[in-house]
Chain A
């Protein structure tokens, strides 16, 4: 699971705004939901990029844009160097084969009136060149086998399966066209705890078997860390911090990342006293009314005047540029500093003070 060579997917300045209009006959635009508001990243071949963030941060919109399910307002998505946002017709169809999606909810993403065989084989109807007609049945059975389902289930319907099995069906469908990139949007969050591990293992195995590159979107930070090589943390439509998994988890420098990591409950009752908790005040601002400057400043305990005036760039902060080391990774904060918030796994570390941050800040 390591990156090598040039990236398979490059995203630059990606923006998606949904207009808000008023009036029926004479529609007037009165604003916009800025769901994705300038996102850049690259995905290496065979690599897994984890995107984390809370609801409304735009991570699912990014997923839809990557799969060309929607057209961006601005920016580009380059697949092997070719900008796919400008394609249409046959060229778009050809590219779509290579980037497939696995959805969150295995209960609504499978058509209840189609058999499992039809669901998994449907991509071949749309891309007939991918498999000759006589061969499709065999391929579907093979795919079911690959994802750990009995190939004899081809004639069953989705309701006859559990959530975990349905997610396997969704994964089999995603693999049908032998894509190179899979975008998985919260693929395990609808599943029972004891079944999540099975699906994560399956995804990891398929990655090596089929040489896949993953964009893995989730809100469960421990699962994201387990499967990802690199992590991007999103807040209100932008990436606020990105780096290799250890850089983000062990050396976060953006206050939002620190708050997010510190809020994750640790499955170790002994860590209760040791851990430092940052409780953020207030709620995420509405994406129709994004704060000026740094968009996190309304909830940030470090916010100063500069934060309201200047948008912080996503780059290695000056303070870390010279020294290098794990803290030297991209972080969009004017006052970035390192702070370890996840307790080290062996006990006996220095006692962390209880930090509570309250108040709703300016705005």
Chain B
């Protein structure tokens, strides 16, 4: 296994108390595989990724438990210097907002070339040449001329491609993409996702795709982990989950997508709001919004039940949910 997150716990100290942003998350990605981590804001999907990358702000964040095994080594046991050497080289991250992730006062060519200087000991001239190659690779027209341009001189889609170029520069084994296309228009999103998929196939990278978009997930993922209030509530191969979700939250998300046959009718809507992480409801965190909730849900935290060999659901009544959801 390329990456294995085991029972990860991350807390944040806030004015309102301790927020358990990540509360026992486990997931795994293999080389060449795409895992989609699906969740709304505050579900803990980005915090988990930041912990894996080692870029979590501590304080206020704190990893209070768990293991992050990358190529067999526990990252949490490494010194900062060792982790820094892994970042960019063996594991890389693509952020949502390329404009704030790129340095605005440095030409993009320098930012791409820097990776080769720092990690590969390349000369400045070599680095420049590699930067042009990379920009060409992500289909930036006129790469040789544009290598001296600054981030603001590129369009949003092109900046995102430059960030992909930076992430893939050293051919890392693992890439984490945090909402890589959320800020982009659909036609540009299609370009970027297409490029990412192509490069992933070519380099056989493991990809963790963090998103809230059920459409994007269906398009590219092999597996899905659905997160809610800091926990994984359902984890399954992509085809299974869309066919029959085994958790009422997943089902609610899928049912609230507008469908043709329901046009003009009321959309299914999950009632209520996602919880405040400093005051997560007892028992199952989803119970106040769940149409299936019963007494046990208010008191007992559901473990991740094994639905099938490759599939888990953190719902006491996953069997019912699965039967209801056959569609």
Contact = CB atoms under 8 A, between A and B. Distances in A.
Interface of A: 1, 54-55, 162, 164-165, 192-198, 200-201, 204-205, 219, 221-223, 225-226, 245, 259-260, 262-272, 277, 279-280, 282-284, 345, 360
Interface in B166-204: 185-191, 193-194
A165 B274 CA distance: 12
Contact of B257 (A195, A198, A222): A222
A204 B269 CA distance: 13
B257 A283 contact: no
Contact of A265 (B155, B212, B219, B274): B219
B187 A193 contact: no
Nearest to B219: A265
A267 B216 CA distance: 7
A1 B266 CA distance: 13
A55 B186 contact: no
B326 to A, nearest CB: 15
Contact of B269 (A162, A201, A245): A201
B238 A194 contact: no
Contacts of B267: 197, 200-201, 226
Interface string B29-56: 0000000000011000000000000000
28 contacts: A54-B187, A165-B273, A192-B212, A193-B212, A194-B40, A194-B256, A196-B256, A197-B268, A200-B258, A201-B269, A205-B266, A225-B258, A225-B263, A264-B186, A265-B189, A265-B215, A265-B219, A267-B218, A268-B218, A269-B218, A269-B219, A269-B221, A279-B187, A279-B194, A280-B190, A282-B141, A283-B155, A345-B260
B293 interface: no
B230 to A, nearest CB: 15
Nearest to A259: B187
A265 B191 CA distance: 12
B68 to A, nearest CB: 27
Contacts of B186: 54, 219, 221, 260, 263-264
What 4 pairs across the A-B complex have the smallest Cβ distances? Answer: A265-B215, A226-B258, A54-B185, A263-B190
B187 A269 contact: no
B256 A193 contact: yes
A127 to B, nearest CB: 32
B253 interface: yes
A162 B269 CA distance: 16
B239 A194 contact: no
B292 interface: no
B81 interface: no
Given A263-B189, A267-B218, A283-B188, 9 more contacts: A162-B273, A194-B40, A200-B258, A267-B215, A267-B254, A269-B219, A280-B190, A283-B158, A345-B261
Nearest to B242: A269
Contacts of B156: 55
Contacts of B219: 265-266, 269, 272
A35 B161 CA distance: 26
Contacts of B143: none
A220 to B, nearest CB: 9
B129 interface: no
B264 A263 contact: no
Contacts of B212: 192-193
Contacts of A205: 266
- Interface size on B, as a range, is 35 or more
A283 B141 CA distance: 11
Contacts of B238: 269
B141 A263 contact: no
B215 A264 contact: yes
Contacts of B41: 192
B252 to A, nearest CB: 6
Contacts of A259: 187
A280 B187 contact: yes
A219 B185 contact: yes
Contacts of B239: 269-270
A237 to B, nearest CB: 15
Given A201-B266, A226-B267, A360-B141, A265 B185 contact: no
A310 B216 CA distance: 38
A197 B256 contact: yes
Contacts of A267: 214-215, 217-218, 242, 254, 257
B107 interface: no
B270 interface: yes
Contacts of A226: 258, 262-264, 267
A194 B218 contact: no
A197 B158 CA distance: 32
A360 B155 CA distance: 15
A337 B309 CA distance: 48
Given A221-B186, A226-B267, A283-B158, A265 B242 contact: no
Contacts of B193: 265
B24 interface: no
A284 B264 CA distance: 33
B135 to A, nearest CB: 15
Most buried by A among B141, B157, B212, B269: B269
Nearest to A56: B185
A269 B214 CA distance: 10
Interface in B205-263: 212-219, 221, 238-239, 242, 252-254, 256-263
A222 B258 contact: yes
Contacts of A272: 218-219
A66 B146 CA distance: 40
Contacts of A245: 263
Nearest to B194: A279
Contacts of A55: 156, 185
A194 B39 CA distance: 10
A265 B257 CA distance: 12
A233 B260 CA distance: 19
A162 B260 CA distance: 29
B173 to A, nearest CB: 25
B185 A194 contact: no
Contacts of B221: 269
Nearest to A271: B218
Nearest to B255: A197
B216 A265 contact: yes
